[in-house]
Amino acid sequence: MKELRIAVIGLGATGAVQAAALLKQDPELICIDPRPGLGEALREGGITISGALNYHVPVGSFFPRIGDLKDLHPNLIFLCTKTYHLPQVLEEIEEVFRPGTKIVSTQNGLGTEDLLAERDSASIPPSACP
């Protein structure tokens, strides 16, 4: 089986929980979020989740842009951005997408499935967007 190289795009409430859970199992997880200063804060203090779930995990691999994934070749990408960012995020992912990459959307709201399904005419095949 091919080794997983996982990226989480968007580290808001949903993405931070997703990333923390994955980082417990895979410290090589790649985190992407454009917020200024977030990378430095996460590298220094990691991600802490408290409440029903309790995690404190270090973050080693953080980048501010989706384009930074180009040379890292993730083969599983979790989209944890706000729904209204999805069109721009998908456009940026086209630049780094490689055949065999799987994309999982953790977004809620109506219409996200339509945007993902429309990718059949783009470089991201719809089978990559379950």
**Per-residue tens of pLDDT for the chain, all 130 residues:** 468 999 999 999 999 999 999 999 999 999 999 999 999 999 999 999 999 888 899 999 999 999 999 999 999 999 999 988 988 999 999 888 888 888 888 877 666 777 776 764 444 544 444 4
Give 53's contacts (C-beta < 8 A, 6+ positions apart).
17, 20, 21
Interatomic CA distance for residues 53 and 62, integer angstroms? 23
Residue 77: domain span: 6-128
* Number of domains into which the chain is organized: 1
Tokens of 39: 């990378």
In a domain? residue 102: yes
Gyration radius of the chain's alpha carbons: 14
Beta strands 102-105; 76-79: pairing state = parallel
In a domain? residue 81: yes
In this prediction the pTM is 0.86
In a domain? residue 1: no
CATH of the domain at 58: 3.40.50.720
Backbone angles phi, psi at 9, to 5 degrees: -105, 115
